[in-house]
Amino acid sequence: MLFNNTQLERIAGAETPFYYYDLDLLNDTLDQVKAAADKRGFHVHYALKANFNERLLDLIQSKGFGADCVSGAEVQKSIDKGFTPEKITFAGVGKSDKEIITALKHGIFAFNVESIQEMEVINELAGEQNVVAHVSLRINPNVDANTHHYITTGLDENKFGVPTSELETAADVIRNATNVSLIGLHFHVGSQITDMNVFKSLCVKVNEWKNWFEDRGTQIRVLNVGGGLGVDYHDPDGNPIPDFEAYFDIFDKFLERSALHEVHFELGRAIVGQCGSLITRVLYTKSGLKKNFLILDAGMTELMRPALYQAYHKIEKVGFSDSQKEMIYDVVGPICESSDCFGKEVPLPESGRGNLIAIRTAGAYGEVMASNYNLREEVRYIYSDEL
């Protein structure tokens, strides 16, 4: 049950749609991540692209996590929220000169470099700033994440990382660069990964390329294995927190490392995914020859994932009795696009105008992907400690 009776009374008159964030669940998740990582000596950077809500960032930063950023604005946001520069990484295939300079001025921990040309640009800009930039070379390991093709990043066909065919050239560029220092290797094969064998395969590739560099005289200090751990979209109440022990244990067992090596992770969805739900209200019901529709006041402008990825989110009627008649609905939004659909053939208790609906596991890639298409209002949010 998402809300107790008292909370239901308090949100009954709230303007919808809004994101509801369970801060207690987020706190428990963070504690479990930190405990599992700390006992293995692992370093965790939170991926801001998953959610950069102010209060969520405050809580994450207070626990001592680092930040994984994919834009100059995310780097600046991390600094503004108190993340220490020594724990900030900056990834992304298209870093602009302005973004690179911002990160250089803050003295971040490392750039995750995704091409030889990017390495050359960072070297040039660092020279102009009279600093040495620490970099981790992102290698495309050609490991299949067995997930949606839009969120697979580690195959040869993907735009991310340096192809292994160019590593010899990359190593030469690094050796000749005077204002970059290679401190590590970076890997990321995709997101929403639930098959732990994918991470075993990744470890094999990390070991292979670490040894490749070290056999050629380049000491690698940082092994950044990215993130990608999935969450349970189908049973958010039964599995509110991913099994971080099992996840980290894979790398602890299969990643070859010595006391000279640090292991870094970049986790986003696994940390914030389950703490957020999109709360919306039924505007209209509509029955066709073959379909029953629930038309909500939230749409793809508030939660893009179903339209973008055909992603599944559990949809629930808020505050219903088990004795109510069940209906099958297509649950849709108000946006003038046929793709504005949260779910087809969804079994729900019979619903009508004004009923509240919760779209679960929306804490990651929900609020941050919201837009004002159709001149929609800015998304709202309510936190658990306000109810």
What are 41-86's pLDDT values in tens digits? Answer: 999 999 999 999 999 999 999 999 999 999 999 999 999 999 999 9
- Number of structural domains, the chain? 2
Which of 243, 272, 301 is the last residue in one of the domains? 272
| CATH at 290 | 2.40.37.10
- 146 in the same domain as 67: yes
- 108 in the same domain as 39: yes
Question: What stretches of the chain adopt beta strand conformation (E)?
Answer: 18-21, 43-47, 66-69, 88-90, 110-113, 133-138, 180-186, 222-224, 262-267, 276-287, 292-296, 315-317, 326-332, 341-349, 356-359, 380-383
* Structure confidence at residue 344 (pLDDT): 97
- Report the distance separating Cα 249 and Cα 361, nearest Å: 25
The interaxial angle of helices 97-106 and 72-80, nearest 10 deg, is 30
* Structure confidence at residue 150 (pLDDT): 44
- The SS3 assignment for 247 reads helix
* Structure confidence at residue 233 (pLDDT): 98
The interaxial angle of helices 116-128 and 167-176, nearest 10 deg, is 10
Whole-model pTM: value is 0.94
- With 0-12 / 13-18 / 19 or more C-beta atoms within 10 angstroms meaning exposed / middle / buried, residue 385 is exposed
| CATH at 33 | 3.20.20.10
Which of 234, 251, 272 is the last residue in one of the domains? 272
- Report the distance separating Cα 26 and Cα 276, nearest Å: 9
- Report the distance separating Cα 147 and Cα 240, nearest Å: 20
Amino acid at 248: F
- Report the distance separating Cα 164 and Cα 102, nearest Å: 29
* Whether pLDDT at 323 is above 70: no
* Structure confidence at residue 276 (pLDDT): 98
Pair 216, 171: CB distance under 8 Å: yes
- 208 in the same domain as 60: yes
Residue scoring higher pLDDT (4 or 79): 79
The interaxial angle of helices 23-38 and 244-254, nearest 10 deg, is 20
- 221 in the same domain as 303: no
Provide the residue range defining the domain that includes 331: 5-19+274-386
* Whether pLDDT at 153 is above 50: no
- Report the distance separating Cα 273 and Cα 241, nearest Å: 9
Give the contacts of 274 (CB within 8 A, at least 6 positions apart): 22, 25, 29, 231, 232, 236, 240, 241, 360, 361, 363
- 102 in the same domain as 236: yes
% the chain with pLDDT above 70: 95
Pair 46, 68: CB distance under 8 Å: yes
- 115 in the same domain as 49: yes
Q: Which two tokens stand for residue 109?
A: 């921990």
Compute φ and ψ for 329, nearest 5 degrees: -125, 150
- Report the distance separating Cα 107 and Cα 75, nearest Å: 11
- 262 in the same domain as 318: no
- 340 in the same domain as 261: no
- Report the distance separating Cα 176 and Cα 158, nearest Å: 28
Distances in whole angstroms, Cα of residue 150 to Cα of each of 153, 154, 225, 307, 379: 8, 11, 20, 12, 25
- 104 in the same domain as 37: yes
Q: Give residue 254's pLDDT band: very low, low, confident or very high (50, 70, 90).
A: very high
- 204 in the same domain as 68: yes
* Structure confidence at residue 156 (pLDDT): 47
Q: Which two tokens stand for residue 144?
A: 């299949």
DSSP character string of 350-368: ---TT-EEEE-S-TTTTGG
Residue scoring higher pLDDT (190 or 70): 70
* Structure confidence at residue 143 (pLDDT): 74
- 186 in the same domain as 60: yes
Pair 183, 110: CB distance under 8 Å: yes
- Report the distance separating Cα 335 and Cα 97, nearest Å: 37
- 90 in the same domain as 220: yes
The mean pLDDT value for 219-224 works out to 97
Which of 237, 272, 307 is the last residue in one of the domains? 272
